[in-house]
Structure 1
Amino acid sequence: MSNLPLLESGCCTPLVREPLGEAQAADLAGVFKALGDPVRLRLLSMIASGSGGEVCVCDLTGAFDVTGPTISHHLKKLREAGLIDGDRRGTWVYYRVVPERLALLSQLLSGATA
């Protein structure tokens, strides 16, 4: 995940009020690229809507017609984009969304001010 001020602060200047800097645009492009894949978008949705706020990877793999390593690759891309986080419990990894990152994207695209 990036260390850009835009993505760390509790508020940001909405896209409609001030142009993005080069580094901010590059970071956000990576986030949107991660979201541009249908499998990743479905994975994010499944994780975000999981009961208790998290989902075991074992519950994700059966929902797709792709291999386990492919699901792992997609989860890695979502994690690198800062959209999800996870921790290992025994042999399984449990994933949850990073609410601050999703809220920032929502705020940025809506043009709302903090």
Structure 2
Amino acid sequence: MSKSSLPLLTGSDALACCTPLSREPMSDEQAAQVAPLLKALADPVRLRLMSMVLSHEGGEACVCDLTPAFDLSQPTISHHLKVLHEAGLLDREKRGTWVYYQAKPEAMTAIMTLFAAGPVASTC
């Protein structure tokens, strides 16, 4: 199966059938589906944004709460948040003129499962 014929999966969907890396090697197809998710997190700004959202009071943060921590414009921060959202890592909700972001619990669980060192039950 070529990369172009793979169904587009994001977030926890892309990780759903992956056993922990320490248990067995990934297939080409699994690696092709998981790589975009990890690529979204591999950017230092996006990794910091993810951390800030996860650690923010109530587990959600407004763009207006996140922008002051960076020497970047609000549109640039919004772009990075959009990448995380499209990768399936964040949910978003518009309230008035602001957008609030919250980490998807199932995506966080899937990432932890992927990198788990011990035996973890597979959902496949």
* TM-score scaled by length of structure 1: 0.85
Root-mean-square deviation (CA), in Å? 2.0
Letter in 2 for 1:24: Q
Quick one: distance in 2 between partners of 1:77 and 1:47? 14
Structure 2: tracts of 5 or more residues without a match = 1-7
1:35-114 equivalences under 5 Å are 35-112=41-118, 113-114=120-121
Amino acid corresponding to residue 96 of structure 1 in structure 2: Q
Distance, in Å, in 1 between the alignment partners of 2:66 and 2:13 is 33
Give the paired residue count.
Answer: 112
Instruction: Tell me, in whole angstroms, the C-alpha distance in 2 between the residues paired with 1:24 and 1:74.
Output: 25
Q: Quote how far apart the aligned CAs of 1:27 are.
A: 2.0
In structure 1, distance between residues paired with 2:68 and 2:24: 43
Structure 2 CA distance for aligned equivalents of residues 108 and 83 of structure 1: 14
Q: Which residue is equivalent to 1:22?
A: 28
Quick one: structure 1 residues 5 and 67, their matched pair in 2 at CA, closer, same or farther if it must change by over 3 Å?
closer
Which residue does the alignment assign to 2:5?
none
Q: 1:81 to 1:56 in 2, by over 3 A?
A: same
Distance 1:5 1:21, change over 3 A: farther
In the alignment, the residues of structure 2 paired with residue 68 and residue 56 of structure 1 have an alpha-carbon distance, to the nearest angstrom, of 11
Whether the 8 Å CA contact 2:15–2:110 is kept in 1: the answer is: yes
Q: TM-score, normalised by structure 2?
A: 0.79
Point out where structure 1 has 5 or more consecutive residues left out of the alignment: none
Aligned partners of 1:32, 1:6: CA distance in 2, in Å?
Answer: 11
Matched letter for residue 110 of structure 2: L
Judged with a 3 Å threshold, the aligned counterparts in structure 2 of structure 1 residues 13 and 6 are, in CA distance, closer, same or farther, namely farther
The share of aligned pairs that are identical, in percent, is 55
Match of 2:39 in 1: 33
CA deviation map 1:8-58 (0-9, x unaligned): 46xx52222232233321121111111111110110000001111211111
